Structure 1
Amino acid sequence: MTPHISLLTLGVADLAMSRQFYAALGFSEIPESQESIAFFATSSGMLLGLYDRQALAEDTGVQLAEPGGTAFTLAHNVTSPAAVDSVLAEAVTVGATLVKAGQPVFWGGYSGYFADPDGFLWEVAYNPFMDLTGGAA
Protein backbone atom coordinates (compact mmCIF):
# COMPACT_ATOMS: atom_id res chain seq x y z
CA MET A 1 0.00 0.00 0.00
CA THR A 2 1.20 3.49 -0.79
CA PRO A 3 0.42 5.65 2.26
CA HIS A 4 -2.17 8.22 1.22
CA ILE A 5 -5.35 9.59 2.77
CA SER A 6 -7.74 10.65 0.04
CA LEU A 7 -11.00 11.09 1.94
CA LEU A 8 -11.98 11.63 5.56
CA THR A 9 -15.69 11.10 6.25
CA LEU A 10 -17.44 12.39 9.36
CA GLY A 11 -20.67 10.76 10.53
CA VAL A 12 -22.97 13.69 11.34
CA ALA A 13 -26.32 14.00 13.09
CA ASP A 14 -27.83 16.58 10.72
CA LEU A 15 -26.38 16.49 7.21
CA ALA A 16 -28.07 19.71 6.06
CA MET A 17 -26.81 21.67 9.08
CA SER A 18 -23.29 20.26 8.70
CA ARG A 19 -23.27 21.12 4.98
CA GLN A 20 -24.13 24.72 5.87
CA PHE A 21 -21.53 24.85 8.65
CA TYR A 22 -18.63 23.64 6.49
CA ALA A 23 -19.68 25.84 3.57
CA ALA A 24 -19.73 28.82 5.96
CA LEU A 25 -16.16 27.93 7.02
CA GLY A 26 -15.14 28.27 3.37
CA PHE A 27 -15.13 24.64 2.24
CA SER A 28 -16.32 24.19 -1.36
CA GLU A 29 -18.78 21.38 -1.96
CA ILE A 30 -17.94 19.48 -5.13
CA PRO A 31 -20.42 18.38 -7.83
CA GLU A 32 -19.96 14.69 -7.00
CA SER A 33 -21.91 15.26 -3.77
CA GLN A 34 -25.31 13.65 -3.52
CA GLU A 35 -28.38 14.22 -1.39
CA SER A 36 -27.16 11.61 1.11
CA ILE A 37 -23.45 12.56 1.20
CA ALA A 38 -21.50 15.79 0.86
CA PHE A 39 -17.93 16.04 -0.40
CA PHE A 40 -15.82 19.15 0.19
CA ALA A 41 -12.53 20.00 -1.52
CA THR A 42 -9.46 20.91 0.53
CA SER A 43 -6.33 22.74 -0.56
CA SER A 44 -4.29 19.55 -0.05
CA GLY A 45 -6.39 17.54 -2.49
CA MET A 46 -7.90 15.38 0.22
CA LEU A 47 -11.70 15.41 0.41
CA LEU A 48 -13.80 15.92 3.52
CA GLY A 49 -16.99 13.86 3.45
CA LEU A 50 -20.13 14.31 5.54
CA TYR A 51 -22.50 11.36 5.87
CA ASP A 52 -25.44 10.64 8.14
CA ARG A 53 -24.08 9.03 11.32
CA GLN A 54 -26.77 6.32 11.46
CA ALA A 55 -26.25 5.44 7.79
CA LEU A 56 -22.49 5.25 8.36
CA ALA A 57 -22.99 2.83 11.25
CA GLU A 58 -25.26 0.69 9.09
CA ASP A 59 -22.81 0.77 6.16
CA THR A 60 -19.84 -0.26 8.31
CA GLY A 61 -21.72 -2.78 10.43
CA VAL A 62 -20.33 -1.09 13.53
CA GLN A 63 -22.56 -0.04 16.43
CA LEU A 64 -23.52 3.62 16.38
CA ALA A 65 -21.22 5.60 18.67
CA GLU A 66 -21.17 9.17 19.89
CA PRO A 67 -19.00 11.46 17.71
CA GLY A 68 -16.26 13.80 18.74
CA GLY A 69 -14.22 13.38 21.86
CA THR A 70 -10.49 12.99 21.93
CA ALA A 71 -10.04 9.86 19.82
CA PHE A 72 -8.74 12.12 17.05
CA THR A 73 -8.60 15.74 15.97
CA LEU A 74 -8.68 17.42 12.61
CA ALA A 75 -6.14 20.18 12.07
CA HIS A 76 -6.04 23.41 10.12
CA ASN A 77 -2.58 24.96 10.13
CA VAL A 78 -2.09 28.66 9.44
CA THR A 79 0.81 31.06 8.98
CA SER A 80 0.77 33.02 12.25
CA PRO A 81 -0.62 33.16 15.78
CA ALA A 82 -2.91 36.00 14.68
CA ALA A 83 -4.32 33.75 11.97
CA VAL A 84 -5.06 31.08 14.61
CA ASP A 85 -7.14 33.59 16.58
CA SER A 86 -8.86 34.80 13.40
CA VAL A 87 -9.85 31.30 12.23
CA LEU A 88 -11.10 30.36 15.71
CA ALA A 89 -13.25 33.51 15.78
CA GLU A 90 -14.56 32.80 12.27
CA ALA A 91 -15.50 29.24 13.24
CA VAL A 92 -17.39 30.44 16.33
CA THR A 93 -19.21 33.03 14.20
CA VAL A 94 -20.62 30.27 11.96
CA GLY A 95 -21.67 27.95 14.78
CA ALA A 96 -18.60 26.22 16.21
CA THR A 97 -17.97 25.99 19.94
CA LEU A 98 -14.68 27.41 21.18
CA VAL A 99 -13.02 24.62 23.17
CA LYS A 100 -9.64 26.22 23.84
CA ALA A 101 -8.61 29.76 22.92
CA GLY A 102 -5.42 30.26 20.93
CA GLN A 103 -2.34 30.21 23.14
CA PRO A 104 1.36 29.31 23.11
CA VAL A 105 1.82 25.54 23.40
CA PHE A 106 4.52 23.34 24.94
CA TRP A 107 6.07 22.37 21.59
CA GLY A 108 6.80 25.99 20.65
CA GLY A 109 3.86 26.83 18.43
CA TYR A 110 0.49 28.46 19.00
CA SER A 111 -2.88 26.73 18.79
CA GLY A 112 -6.47 26.51 19.91
CA TYR A 113 -9.46 24.22 19.37
CA PHE A 114 -13.06 24.46 18.26
CA ALA A 115 -15.77 21.81 18.00
CA ASP A 116 -18.05 21.55 14.98
CA PRO A 117 -21.82 21.07 15.49
CA ASP A 118 -21.30 17.31 16.05
CA GLY A 119 -18.47 17.79 18.54
CA PHE A 120 -15.62 16.90 16.18
CA LEU A 121 -12.52 18.71 17.40
CA TRP A 122 -10.53 20.96 15.08
CA GLU A 123 -7.11 22.23 16.09
CA VAL A 124 -6.14 25.54 14.52
CA ALA A 125 -2.37 25.82 14.77
CA TYR A 126 0.65 27.85 13.85
CA ASN A 127 3.75 25.65 13.64
CA PRO A 128 6.96 27.69 13.23
CA PHE A 129 8.96 24.49 12.60
CA MET A 130 7.00 22.86 9.74
CA ASP A 131 4.89 24.39 6.98
CA LEU A 132 1.68 22.39 7.08
CA THR A 133 -0.50 25.16 5.69
CA GLY A 134 -1.00 23.82 2.16
CA GLY A 135 -1.38 27.43 1.07
CA ALA A 136 -3.85 28.41 3.81
CA ALA A 137 -3.58 31.86 5.38
Structure 2
Amino acid sequence: MDPHITLVTLGVEDLDRSIEFYRDGLDLPMQERPEDETIAFFDLEGAMLGLYPRDLLAEDATVSPEGSGFGGVTIAHNVADRDAVDAVLAEAESAGGELVKSGREADWGGYSGYFADPDGHLWEVAWNPYLSAD
Protein backbone atom coordinates (compact mmCIF):
# COMPACT_ATOMS: atom_id res chain seq x y z
CA MET A 1 0.00 0.00 0.00
CA ASP A 2 1.22 3.49 -0.82
CA PRO A 3 1.62 5.15 2.62
CA HIS A 4 -0.56 8.22 2.40
CA ILE A 5 -4.14 9.14 3.20
CA THR A 6 -6.07 11.02 0.54
CA LEU A 7 -9.54 11.27 2.09
CA VAL A 8 -11.15 10.99 5.51
CA THR A 9 -14.95 10.83 5.38
CA LEU A 10 -17.03 11.56 8.46
CA GLY A 11 -20.56 10.22 8.78
CA VAL A 12 -22.78 13.08 9.95
CA GLU A 13 -26.39 13.34 11.12
CA ASP A 14 -27.08 16.80 9.66
CA LEU A 15 -25.01 17.65 6.59
CA ASP A 16 -25.93 21.36 6.57
CA ARG A 17 -25.02 21.76 10.26
CA SER A 18 -21.69 20.02 9.69
CA ILE A 19 -20.93 22.16 6.63
CA GLU A 20 -21.60 25.27 8.71
CA PHE A 21 -19.25 24.00 11.44
CA TYR A 22 -16.33 23.16 9.14
CA ARG A 23 -16.78 25.83 6.43
CA ASP A 24 -18.13 28.78 8.41
CA GLY A 25 -16.92 28.02 11.92
CA LEU A 26 -13.46 26.58 11.28
CA ASP A 27 -13.00 28.31 7.91
CA LEU A 28 -11.97 25.16 6.02
CA PRO A 29 -11.99 25.64 2.25
CA MET A 30 -14.93 23.71 0.78
CA GLN A 31 -15.11 22.60 -2.83
CA GLU A 32 -18.09 23.85 -4.80
CA ARG A 33 -21.05 21.47 -4.83
CA PRO A 34 -24.62 21.44 -6.12
CA GLU A 35 -27.06 22.30 -3.33
CA ASP A 36 -28.81 18.92 -3.56
CA GLU A 37 -25.51 16.95 -3.36
CA THR A 38 -25.32 14.61 -0.35
CA ILE A 39 -21.55 14.96 0.18
CA ALA A 40 -19.22 17.89 0.86
CA PHE A 41 -15.45 17.97 0.38
CA PHE A 42 -12.89 20.21 2.06
CA ASP A 43 -9.29 20.71 0.93
CA LEU A 44 -6.78 19.96 3.71
CA GLU A 45 -3.47 20.62 1.95
CA GLY A 46 -2.53 17.13 0.83
CA ALA A 47 -5.69 15.30 1.81
CA MET A 48 -9.44 15.83 1.72
CA LEU A 49 -12.14 15.80 4.38
CA GLY A 50 -15.51 14.48 3.28
CA LEU A 51 -18.85 14.87 5.07
CA TYR A 52 -21.53 12.34 4.16
CA PRO A 53 -24.79 11.33 5.86
CA ARG A 54 -24.02 8.73 8.52
CA ASP A 55 -26.73 6.29 7.41
CA LEU A 56 -25.59 6.42 3.77
CA LEU A 57 -21.94 5.99 4.75
CA ALA A 58 -22.83 2.95 6.86
CA GLU A 59 -24.90 1.55 3.99
CA ASP A 60 -21.97 2.00 1.61
CA ALA A 61 -19.69 0.13 4.03
CA THR A 62 -22.39 -2.50 4.64
CA VAL A 63 -22.42 -1.93 8.41
CA SER A 64 -25.07 -0.76 10.88
CA PRO A 65 -25.34 3.01 11.35
CA GLU A 66 -26.15 2.49 15.04
CA GLY A 67 -23.44 3.18 17.54
CA SER A 68 -22.41 5.50 20.32
CA GLY A 69 -19.47 6.28 22.49
CA PHE A 70 -15.84 6.29 21.47
CA GLY A 71 -15.32 4.82 18.01
CA GLY A 72 -11.59 4.29 18.51
CA VAL A 73 -10.52 7.01 16.03
CA THR A 74 -9.33 10.58 16.43
CA ILE A 75 -8.20 13.06 13.81
CA ALA A 76 -5.10 15.09 14.64
CA HIS A 77 -4.29 18.65 13.65
CA ASN A 78 -0.72 19.67 14.47
CA VAL A 79 0.09 23.34 14.97
CA ALA A 80 3.29 25.37 15.22
CA ASP A 81 3.27 26.21 18.96
CA ARG A 82 1.45 25.85 22.29
CA ASP A 83 -0.54 29.06 21.89
CA ALA A 84 -1.94 27.83 18.58
CA VAL A 85 -3.37 24.74 20.35
CA ASP A 86 -5.44 26.92 22.66
CA ALA A 87 -6.45 29.24 19.80
CA VAL A 88 -7.73 26.38 17.61
CA LEU A 89 -9.59 24.79 20.53
CA ALA A 90 -11.28 28.15 21.25
CA GLU A 91 -12.13 28.56 17.55
CA ALA A 92 -13.72 25.11 17.43
CA GLU A 93 -15.71 25.77 20.59
CA SER A 94 -16.99 29.13 19.34
CA ALA A 95 -17.98 27.43 16.04
CA GLY A 96 -20.27 25.04 17.92
CA GLY A 97 -17.85 22.25 18.78
CA GLU A 98 -17.47 20.83 22.26
CA LEU A 99 -14.25 21.30 24.20
CA VAL A 100 -13.46 17.76 25.38
CA LYS A 101 -10.00 18.32 26.88
CA SER A 102 -8.42 21.72 27.29
CA GLY A 103 -4.84 22.21 26.14
CA ARG A 104 -2.28 20.77 28.55
CA GLU A 105 1.19 19.34 28.73
CA ALA A 106 1.29 15.85 27.24
CA ASP A 107 3.30 12.97 28.69
CA TRP A 108 5.05 12.55 25.32
CA GLY A 109 6.61 16.04 25.58
CA GLY A 110 4.19 18.22 23.65
CA TYR A 111 1.01 20.14 24.38
CA SER A 112 -2.46 19.07 23.21
CA GLY A 113 -6.21 19.15 23.73
CA TYR A 114 -9.35 17.75 22.09
CA PHE A 115 -12.62 19.04 20.68
CA ALA A 116 -15.61 17.18 19.26
CA ASP A 117 -17.46 18.35 16.16
CA PRO A 118 -21.29 18.50 16.20
CA ASP A 119 -21.45 14.72 15.54
CA GLY A 120 -18.95 13.85 18.27
CA HIS A 121 -15.97 13.16 15.99
CA LEU A 122 -12.86 13.80 18.08
CA TRP A 123 -10.11 16.11 16.88
CA GLU A 124 -6.80 16.36 18.72
CA VAL A 125 -5.06 19.71 18.39
CA ALA A 126 -1.39 19.28 19.22
CA TRP A 127 1.94 21.02 19.29
CA ASN A 128 4.53 18.30 18.92
CA PRO A 129 8.14 19.50 19.30
CA TYR A 130 9.27 16.37 17.40
CA LEU A 131 7.09 16.90 14.29
CA SER A 132 6.74 19.70 11.79
CA ALA A 133 3.25 21.27 11.63
CA ASP A 134 3.75 21.86 7.88
TM above 0.5, one fold?
Answer: yes
For residues 45-72 of structure 1, the C-alpha deviation after alignment (integer angstroms, 9 at most, x for no partner) is 1000000001111112111133662501
Name the residue aligned to 1:96.
Answer: 97
Cα distance in 2 for residues equivalent to 1:96 and 1:27: 14
TM (norm. structure 2) is 0.92
Cα distance in 1 for residues equivalent to 2:19 and 2:2: 31
For 1:41, the aligned partner's letter is D
For residues 95-123 of structure 1, the C-alpha deviation after alignment (integer angstroms, 9 at most, x for no partner) is 01000000001000000000000000000
Q: CA deviation at 1:86?
A: 0.6
Do the aligned partners of 1:88 and 1:114 also contact (CA within 8 Å) in 2? Answer: yes
Q: Give identity over the alignment, percent.
A: 53
2:129 aligned counterpart, secondary structure: coil
Name the residue aligned to 1:16.
Answer: 16
**1:13-92 map, 5 Å:** 13-23=13-23, 24-31=25-32, 35-43=37-45, 45-66=46-67, 69-92=70-93
Instruction: Give the gaps of 5 or more residues in structure 2.
Output: none
Cα distance in 2 for residues equivalent to 1:108 and 1:3: 26
Name the residue aligned to 1:116.
Answer: 117
1:28 aligned counterpart, secondary structure: coil
Cα distance in 2 for residues equivalent to 1:104 and 1:42: 26
Q: Which moved more, 1:82-91 or 1:56-65?
A: 56-65
Cα distance in 2 for residues equivalent to 1:20 and 1:109: 31
Cα distance in 2 for residues equivalent to 1:59 and 1:130: 35
Cα distance in 2 for residues equivalent to 1:4 and 1:67: 28
Where in structure 1 do 4 or more consecutive aligned residues deviate above 6 Å?
none
TM (norm. structure 1) is 0.90
For residues 78-105 of structure 1, the C-alpha deviation after alignment (integer angstroms, 9 at most, x for no partner) is 1111110011001000001000000001
2:93 aligned counterpart, secondary structure: helix
